Amino acid sequence: MHPLRPVLLALARSDRLREWMVGLGLARSMARRFIAGERREDGLLAVEALNQQGLLATLDHLGENVTSETEARDATTEVLELLEAIASRRLRSGVSVKLTQLGLDLSPALAAENLERIVALAAEVGRFVRIDMESFSYVQPTLDLFEELWTRYKNVGVVIQSYLYRSAEDVARLVRMGASVRLVKGAYNEPPEVAFPRKADTDANFIRLMEQLFSDEARANGVFPAIATHDEKLIRWAQEHTRRHDISLDRFEFQMLYGIRPGLQRQLVADGYRVRVYVPYGEYWYPYFMRRLAERPANLLFLVRNLFKG
Ligand X SMILES: Cc1cc2nc3c(=O)[nH]c(=O)nc-3n(C[C@H](O)[C@H](O)[C@H](O)COP(=O)(O)OP(=O)(O)OC[C@H]3O[C@@H](n4cnc5c(N)ncnc54)[C@H](O)[C@@H]3O)c2cc1C
Residues marked active site are found at 132, 182
**Shortest separation between residue 101's beta carbon and ligand X, angstroms:** 12
Alpha carbons 52 and 266: distance in angstroms, whole number: 11
Does residue 9 interact with ligand X by CB under 6 A?
Answer: no
Q: Annotate each residue in 127-166 with x if it binds ligand X (CB under 6 A) or - if it does not, as one string.
A: -----xx-------------------------x-x-----
Which of positions 84-123 make contact with ligand X (CB under 6 A)?
Answer: none
Q: Which is nearer to ligand X, 82 or 257 (CB)?
A: 257
Rule CB under 6 A: choose which of 95, 228, 290, 300 binds ligand X: 228
**Shortest separation between residue 32's beta carbon and ligand X, angstroms:** 14
Q: Annotate each residue in 241-260 with x if it binds ligand X (CB under 6 A) or - if it does not, as one string.
A: --------------xxx--x
Task: Burial-class residue 164 by CB neighbours within 10 Å (0-12, 13-18, 19+).
Answer: buried
Rule CB under 6 A: choose which of 114, 229, 242, 265 binds ligand X: 229
**Shortest separation between residue 272's beta carbon and ligand X, angstroms:** 20
Distances (CA, A) of 227 to 95, 141, 145, 219: 17, 23, 22, 15
The piece of 48-56, 110-118, 141-149, 183-191 that touches ligand X (CB under 6 A) is 183-191
Rule CB under 6 A: choose which of 184, 209, 235, 275 binds ligand X: 184
Alpha carbons 53 and 151: distance in angstroms, whole number: 35
> For binding to ligand X (CB under 6 A), which residues are involved?
132-133, 159, 161, 184-188, 228-231, 255-257, 260-261, 278, 292, 295-296, 299
